[in-house]
Structure 1
């Protein structure tokens, strides 16, 4: 058995959407795999710059039975939701929006970003909520005081869960790990083995896991139970994510995730017929229910 076969369970090449000024790369869900730990949706976007006066405008849209996690490397995004929340997401702050039984939100570039030419570079991920907690009350939190592990050549921010002896204050509903790792030239950091499922994605530079080269933007799912070392010759930015493996299957359709297909059908009908709440300060438009969604899980 080769070292690659020993250390790596699966490599997922994302579907890439070229939006002109930047690219969005969707690794999950894919035909090859639906989830890594509780993560059922993994989008990486940028780096990219929009023209002065332009901006990102994701109109109000609904979610159920999941939590969204927004993490930026560059730029800023204004978040509004149907709870009345307004939050400007910036690097170093994680936004966790819990949809539970239902929430609506929008994401737009702040005015000062539009005036300067918005920078877009970061991650948008969704966590499936565990059995018995899918229909909890919707909630929102923005956490800025996140633990950082830094040895001078490797700097890791723990976004969710416990890693390297540190624990983030961010709420977790199932066992979850999530971190941004910035390696300097020659930098190294251990990747712990405790999580049921783990994956890494290089989002800038070059990196290896136990000497195996990682292709940029591919989601590399690591074999469980093995302690490994992440390293870089020239410097890199890497995302580590994973956690508890779900025993019950989750289905994703558009912006809805659930263990029940009937619940997703109900959410479709509710959005179609205006039964979700509105977003204060962003009521003028919304994304209509698609006939064929871009986000689906596969049999």
Structure 2
């Protein structure tokens, strides 16, 4: 029934910005097409450290990044010329495809100093046929995302399909991604139409088959399992999964089904062949020093 429990690891992105890193995990690289997941915040940073939190322009290939905020705001700029303030409850879906660069800036000091900033970042690997797709970015407003409520249960469909819900968020493979809030004592079952399914506990705690699971844990279930999930207190969950895509390689911010494509992406970034955002091109993150061992694989340039 329960395939694996993943405990989030602490990753430090900047002074005052620690995240919980859930995926990839050495014993479970992906859940459906989801290959990366970070939970940042709540962040409470006072001046003058706030500028240190900005994520400078950096590249991606072979994936889509999904930014979802619980609180605060982030300014996204990318090499397509898109400039978008990301706010809570929106879905911001950036398809890197053949290559894109973007930055994330925290330009509202009040949200940082007030501890309001909290967000989930995921990466969705692309099917082989779409790995070289043209880059794209779309912002979806909360009113475009269906909400379902029941006794003690509130959920918003971020992308894909589950529980009979669908929306217009463009995806490239079968998947589901939901923000779920449960009152204490509420029960929930997992959607059964997807092969791989995971639950990340962002707040609160759950009981599953007589065992308690808490904040920062991801529960991944076997195909066909139908567990009953009981909220032990007010609890916030991210449900995700879908159909597996096959093996993917990940190095820094690059994801591909082919190792040689990642080597090409390294060279492209180093030589300036991936354009910088036109409105944020004065600085960027250089290519990390390459390491030969898997343990030396440089950390992704999260937030995304």
Q: Same fold (TM over 0.5)?
A: yes
Match for 2:3 among 2, 5, 9? 9
Per-residue deviation, residues 148-175 of structure 1 (Å, max 9, x unmatched): 1112511011101111211122111011
Which residue of structure 2 aligns with residue 45 of structure 1? 40
Number of residue pairs matched by the alignment: 289
CA distance in 2, matches of 1:97, 1:61: 13
Which residue of structure 1 aligns with residue 294 of structure 2? none
Q: What is the DSSP-based 3-state SS (H/G/I as helix, E as strand, rest coil) of the residue aligned with 2:130?
A: coil
Which residue of structure 1 aligns with residue 267 of structure 2? 269
Tell whether the 8 Å contact from 1:146 to 1:159 is kept in structure 2 after alignment.
Answer: yes
Q: What is the DSSP-based 3-state SS (H/G/I as helix, E as strand, rest coil) of the residue aligned with 2:148?
A: strand
**TM-score, normalization: structure 2?**
0.90
Tell whether the 8 Å contact from 2:153 to 2:181 is kept in structure 1 after alignment.
Answer: yes
Q: What is the DSSP-based 3-state SS (H/G/I as helix, E as strand, rest coil) of the residue aligned with 1:43?
A: strand
Q: What is the DSSP-based 3-state SS (H/G/I as helix, E as strand, rest coil) of the residue aligned with 2:261?
A: helix
Dislocated runs of 4+, deviation >6 Å: none
Q: Does residue 107 of structure 2 align to residue 110 of structure 1?
A: yes
Q: Which stretch of structure 1 is more off in the superposition, 24-33 or 133-142?
A: 24-33
CA distance in 1, matches of 2:67, 2:136: 14
**TM-score, normalization: structure 1?**
0.91
1:258-297 equivalent positions in 2, closer than 5 A: 258-292=256-290, 293-295=298-300
Which residue of structure 2 aligns with residue 229 of structure 1? 228
Residue segments in structure 2 that go unaligned for 5+ positions in a row? 291-297
CA distance in 2, matches of 1:31, 1:284: 36
Q: Summarize the Cα distance change of 1:82–1:20 in structure 2 as closer, same or farther, 3 Å threshold.
A: closer
Q: Which stretch of structure 1 is more off in the superposition, 105-114 or 174-183?
A: 105-114
Per-residue deviation, residues 193-242 of structure 1 (Å, max 9, x unmatched): 21110111111112223543223212211111122332212210011111
What is the root-mean-square deviation of aligned Cα atoms in Å? 1.9
CA distance in 1, matches of 2:116, 2:196: 32
Which residue of structure 2 aligns with residue 4 of structure 1? none
Q: Does residue 177 of structure 2 align to residue 178 of structure 1?
A: yes
Which residue of structure 2 aligns with residue 98 of structure 1? 95
Per-residue deviation, residues 135-160 of structure 1 (Å, max 9, x unmatched): 00000111112111112511011101
Tell whether the 8 Å contact from 1:252 to 1:295 is kept in structure 2 after alignment.
Answer: no
Q: Which stretch of structure 1 is more off in the superposition, 134-143 or 20-29?
A: 20-29
Which residue of structure 2 aligns with residue 133 of structure 1? 130
User: How far does residue 124 in structure 1 lie from its aligned partner after superposition?
Assistant: 0.6
CA distance in 2, matches of 1:134, 1:106: 21
Q: What is the DSSP-based 3-state SS (H/G/I as helix, E as strand, rest coil) of the residue aligned with 1:132?
A: helix
Which residue of structure 1 aligns with residue 253 of structure 2? 255
CA distance in 2, matches of 1:40, 1:179: 16
Tell whether the 8 Å contact from 1:57 to 1:109 is kept in structure 2 after alignment.
Answer: yes
Q: Summarize the Cα distance change of 1:115–1:195 in structure 2 as closer, same or farther, 3 Å threshold.
A: closer
CA distance in 2, matches of 1:226, 1:241: 15
CA distance in 2, matches of 1:182, 1:22: 25
CA distance in 1, matches of 2:209, 2:148: 20
Match for 1:61 among 58, 62, 78? 58
Q: Summarize the Cα distance change of 1:118–1:62 in structure 2 as closer, same or farther, 3 Å threshold.
A: farther
User: How far does residue 117 in structure 1 lie from its aligned partner after superposition?
Assistant: 4.5
CA distance in 1, matches of 2:128, 2:168: 22
Q: Which stretch of structure 1 is more off in the superposition, 222-231 or 195-204?
A: 222-231
Tell whether the 8 Å contact from 1:66 to 1:100 is kept in structure 2 after alignment.
Answer: yes
Residue segments in structure 1 that go unaligned for 5+ positions in a row? 1-6
Q: Which stretch of structure 1 is more off in the superposition, 14-23 or 199-208?
A: 14-23
User: How far does residue 122 in structure 1 lie from its aligned partner after superposition?
Assistant: 1.6
